């Protein structure tokens, strides 16, 4: 009997989950999935948690429950600190893991283009913690505006700035328009939430540059109907607790949301490997790191060029790459040649608002209700867990008919940058206390 091979998969996103599911079909493999969190997150619907349409548990599922019936899959919650390629070890704080094959699927994180200090004033949208913090800030702004008597301060509280005109930015801006004009307008007696000012800032020529100019224009008009003002060719030069600074202008806004870019996983710069655009790891045609034939990199973490262009950080890319890696590992075990990865483009889509979306696929360009229906079907199809699908279908149906949102809960601050800031404040003793101790 041949000895079992150890496969370590780092990351429980779309790429990692699909890699493990495919690999688990081979009983000669022992698979360990390592992730810093205990849940798989359906990121395409994260903005709906941020905008109080869904609750966190409806788009997240425990990784252990996904693989509870898989005998050759072990789950480890922990943070990977590095990889020793020579000794074939994945290093964590509590122990090292030996591997025969390694699959890195760590995803990406928010990128502030060197302006690290902006993160505390403008949360991005890559995790449940960030989504909950955005929800807290948005709902708190309306609560404070309702009790504010100063018209100028009230205007600042009811001004929201979204930085970045990609799919995440337009989904956040569109959802803000809907919640202010339809959901909250009936709940506040001292303000007219329909007068909320929403500004979407994009540094490029137009929003949604990955879509055709025609669909980009239709998305712009859809957002404008929801009260969103779009500023293109505009670069943000500063963000603080009072608002946003542009080159020649200042916008006073208590709530600023960041959707302007993504950066590499922390692990990338700890590895001695060649990096491409956005510091993603350059990979060969079979998705391996050059010089490391048993180490694969997939999803947002990988810089893979096809037909002269790098594949985007989309869920379909990660899903296909996860399944592909398993096939090449199986080929290795059968001593068959590996195949190069080829991406099957399933199109791109984005939702603008209620019954309004855009879809671009195989030369087809759809918008409006039909595109929205396709968007609904695709997102329900890819959701993991029957329970999650049924709950979300019910929530969407209820929200569609009533314009209500059922997750409008304001929680205490628990977001990472804020916790760090509080910890720093507590660690520095006041001058008065220090003087008293000296006496």
Dmax (CA) for the chain in angstroms is: 79
Distance separating alpha carbons of residues 296 and 329, to the nearest angstrom: 10
What radius of gyration do the chain's Cα atoms show? 23
Measured in residues, the chain has a length of 439
Query: Which backbone phi and psi does 15 adopt, to 5 degrees?
Result: -65, -50
DSSP state of 78: -
Measured CA angle at 159 (ends 158, 165), to 5 deg: 140
- In our burial notation (b when 16+ CB lie closer than 10 A, e otherwise), range 109-139 reads ebbbeeeeebbbbbbbbbbbbbbbbbbbbbb
Query: Which backbone phi and psi does 144 adopt, to 5 degrees?
Result: -70, -40
CA atoms within 13 A on the CB side of 203: 12
First-to-last C-alpha distance (Å) of the chain: 76
Nearest partner of 145 among 183, 180, 182, judged by Cα: 180
Does residue 171 carry a catalytic annotation? Answer: yes
Number of CB atoms found within 10 A of residue 239's CB = 23
Question: Which residues have a Cβ under 8 Å from the Cβ of 390 and sit 6 or more positions away?
Answer: none
Question: What is the signed CA dihedral for 133, 137, 138, 140, rounded to 10 degrees?
Answer: 130
DSSP state of 182: I
The residue annotated as part of the active site, out of 171, 178, 242, 269, is 171
Name the token pair of 178: 């809907």
Distance separating alpha carbons of residues 218 and 13, to the nearest angstrom: 31
SS3 362: coil
DSSP state of 100: S
Distance separating alpha carbons of residues 95 and 61, to the nearest angstrom: 26
Active site residues: 171
């Amino acid at each position: 009997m041949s000895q079992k091979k150890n496969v370590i998969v780092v990351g429980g996103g779309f790429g990692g989950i699909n890699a493990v599911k495919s690999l688990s079909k081979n009983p000669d493999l022992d698979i360990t999935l390592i992730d810093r969190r205990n849940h798989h997150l359906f990121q395409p619907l994260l903005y709906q948690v941020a905008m109080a349409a869904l609750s966190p548990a409806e788009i997240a599922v425990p990784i252990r429950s996904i693989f509870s019936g898989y005998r050759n899959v072990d789950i480890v919650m922990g943070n990977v600190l590095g990889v020793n390629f020579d000794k074939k070890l994945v290093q964590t704080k509590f122990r090292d893991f030996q591997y025969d094959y390694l699959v890195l699927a760590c995803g990406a994180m928010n990128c502030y283009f060197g302006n690290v200090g902006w993160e505390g004033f403008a949360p991005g949208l890559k995790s449940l913690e960030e989504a909950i913090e955005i929800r807290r800030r948005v709902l708190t702004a309306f609560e404070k505006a309702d009790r504010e008597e100063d018209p100028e301060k009230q205007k600042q509280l009811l001004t929201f700035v979204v930085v970045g005109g990609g799919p995440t930015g337009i989904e956040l801006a569109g959802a803000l328009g809907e919640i202010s004009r339809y959901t909250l307008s009936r709940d506040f007696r001292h303000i007219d939430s329909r007068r909320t000012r929403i500004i979407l800032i994009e540094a490029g020529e137009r929003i949604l540059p990955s879509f055709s100019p025609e669909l980009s224009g239709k998305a712009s008009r859809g957002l404008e109907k929801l009260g969103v003002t779009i500023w293109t060719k505009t670069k943000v030069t500063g963000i603080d607790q009072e608002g946003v600074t542009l080159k020649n202008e200042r916008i006073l806004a208590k709530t600023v949301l960041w959707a302007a870019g993504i950066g590499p996983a922390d692990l990338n710069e700890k590895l001695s490997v060649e990096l491409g655009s956005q510091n993603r790891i350059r990979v060969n045609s079979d998705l391996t790191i050059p010089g490391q034939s048993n180490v694969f990199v997939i999803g947002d973490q990988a810089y893979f060029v096809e037909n002269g262009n790098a594949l985007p950080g989309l869920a379909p890319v990660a899903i296909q790459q996860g399944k592909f890696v398993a096939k090449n590992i199986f080929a290795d075990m059968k001593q068959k040649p590996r195949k190069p990865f080829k991406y099957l483009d399933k199109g791109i889509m984005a939702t603008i608002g209620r019954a309004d979306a855009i879809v671009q696929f195989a030369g087809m360009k759809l918008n409006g209700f039909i595109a929205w229906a396709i968007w609904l079907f695709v997102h329900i199809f890819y959701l993991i867990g029957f329970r999650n699908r049924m709950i979300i279908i019910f929530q969407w149906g209820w929200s569609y008919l009533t314009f209500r949102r059922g997750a409008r809960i304001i929680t205490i601050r628990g977001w990472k940058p804020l916790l760090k800031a509080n910890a720093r404040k507590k660690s520095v003793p006041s001058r008065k206390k220090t003087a008293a101790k000296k006496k």
